[in-house]
Each structure stands twice: as structure tokens, then as C-alpha cells.
Amino acid sequence: MADTTGNLDAGDYGIGIPQKSESFFLKGSNHLDWGMQDRLARIFSPRSGRSVMLAFDHGYIMGPTSGLERMDLSIVPLIAHADCLMCTRGALRQVVPPTSGKPISLRASAGSTVLTELNDEVILDIEECIRLNASMLAVMAAIGSRFEAVTIRNLTSIVDQGARYGIPVLGVTAVGKELTRDARYLSLASRVCAENGAHVVKTYYCTPGFEKVAASCPVPIVIAGGKKLPEREALQMAYEAVDQGAAGVDMGRNVFQAAHPVAMIQAVRGVVHDGLKPEQAFELYQGLRDSTEKMSCV
Ligand code: R5P
């Protein structure tokens, strides 16, 4: 029962001290509601303004691709080193421990595979996304493909539904045989995602011109890693991307297909969060790799 007598009188009003009104650290996100900003601040580090997202949603279009044959063995050891996990609802329920405490960027669109035509997709039920406690909803936008209209409708629809519940949306610029990955295309596709309401955009690194892609996108951009590269080159790409304006990576194959994935994700973190140069990050990778190998010989 509330006490009605003996309470201390309120007196510390801080008269003359203006109430702080902080601006939010991610670009384009200052006017979002509290729940959206809270979810974004779980994904992106307020210290560095960046994120290392681990993408392992490939199975939804590619099946058991290399490195994802047994996600319980390959992905679970990486979870501790990721800021955010990007995966399907299947992988989430099947292998991701609910005790991991990591924010989830849930793959919220699906519909076709590499065996037919990519990008002919529908979106998940928003209640399912809420049930899974998604922190972000990832939807493909196949700009310039014959499924452009379908996927932009998916994007706008999930933005509307996510907005009702304070869940931000990741616009994923699509892959596809007919889609080029130059700065002109990627800046158009990224901007279309942002203008249609995406709170974060995932696209590809390109050279030359990535700084223009990042600058002309009014929300944070994260880069996919793409096909597996030698580790040194993948770290170079991550470095160039963040140096030219990316707010981090949403990387899959270049982590889980690396010779030493746990060492690799830590080296990527070094680049994204700690400002390591590619050669320093590669040295970190080699050091972690060597100490893991020594431990396994003991
Ligand atoms: C592509 O749409 C998939 O969603 C992947 O998550 C994405 O391509 C990132 O993975 P990777 O770094 O292997 O390209």
C-alpha cells in the first residue's frame, strides 16, 4: 500500500540545470522512437557506432552451403564474438541458444532458391517476428530485377508492421546474376531501401566509389562479405568499407568459411571496433590461429 505519511519532501529539482537531450549516435535515427533506438543500440555499439553482424542465413536460398553444414558446430562458437546474429527463424530455433543474449536480425523475407529464380519473396508474419524477439527485420530488396516491385512492397510492408512494435528494418540489397555491384547501382539500391523506410541498409563493398554509396545513404550501411576471399583480403575489404563510411559488416562466408573462423571474427572486430589496420588485424588473426593450434596439440 502506498505510504501517505512520513514521506521525504521532494526538493532536489536541479533548478537552473537544463535537462539533457542527447542526440542518437546513428545517422538518420535521431527521430526514431525509444524502442527503435534501444534495439539499434543493442546492435550497434554506442562506443564505436559500428557493428559486427554474423550472417548465416544462406541456407534459406542455398541449402547446406560450405561452413553451414552443421551450424551447431560451426556457428555456435562464433556467437560470443558477434554483436548481432542474422539468421532465419529455422536456424534461430534449431541451433541458436536463447541464452546467448545477442540481438537477432531476423531474415523476414523468403520465397525462392538458387535452383529457380532468386528474390520472388513474401514476408513473415509480424507476430512471429515479435515471438522470436527480433531486434531487426531483414528483407531483400531486388532493385532492378524483375522482382523489384514485389520486394519493395515487402520492404514497405515490413517497415509499416515493424513501426507498430518499434522494430527496425534492415534493407538487404539483393544478389542476383543480372545485378552488377558497382557504385552507381549500389548507391541507387541503398538509397531506395532507405527512402522506403529501411533503418539500416546492407549492401556490398565496391571500389571505386564506395564512399559515395555510404555518403548518399541517409542511414547506416553495413557490408556483406560476399564470396570467400583469402583472410588478408577480407580484412582489407572490411577496413576499406568502414574507413569509407560503413557502420560495420554483416559478414558470413568470409567468417564461417575461414580456415579459423573464431580467429577471423575477432580480427574483423579489431578492424570494425578498434581501428586496426588490415595488416594489424591479419597479425591478430595469425596470433589467435597459432595459439588455437597450440592448444589443440596439448
Ligand atoms: C544474402 O542475401 C544473405 O542474406 C547473406 O546474409 C549475405 O550475403 C551476407 O553473407 P556473405 O558475407 O556470405 O555475403
Q: Which residues in the chain show pLDDT less than 50?
A: none
User: Is the Cβ–Cβ distance between 225 and 253 less than 8 Å?
Assistant: yes
pLDDT at 176: 64
pLDDT digits (tens, 9 = 90+) for 140-150: 999 999 999 99
Considering the domain boundaries, does residue 131 fall inside one? yes
Name the nearest CA neighbour of 139 among 181, 177, 110, 162. 110
121 lines ligand 1 (CB under 6 A): no
CA of 59 to the centre of ligand 1 (A): 10
Cα–Cα distance for residue pair 136/148, rounded to 1 Å: 22
Residue 202 pairs in a beta bridge with 172, 222
Considering the domain boundaries, does residue 24 fall inside one? no
Specify the CATH number for the domain of residue 159: 3.20.20.70
pLDDT at 177: 63
* CA dihedral sign, ordered 126, 130, 132, 134: positive
Considering the domain boundaries, does residue 15 fall inside one? no
How many structural domains is the chain composed of?
1
Which residue among the candidates 20, 27, 177, 202 is catalytic per the annotation?
Answer: 202
Q: Domain limits at 229?
A: 34-297
Q: Which residues contact 27 (CB under 8 A, 6 or more apart)?
A: 218, 219, 220, 247
Considering the domain boundaries, does residue 205 fall inside one? yes
103 lines ligand 1 (CB under 6 A): no
pTM of the full predicted structure?
Answer: 0.95
Considering the domain boundaries, does residue 10 fall inside one? no
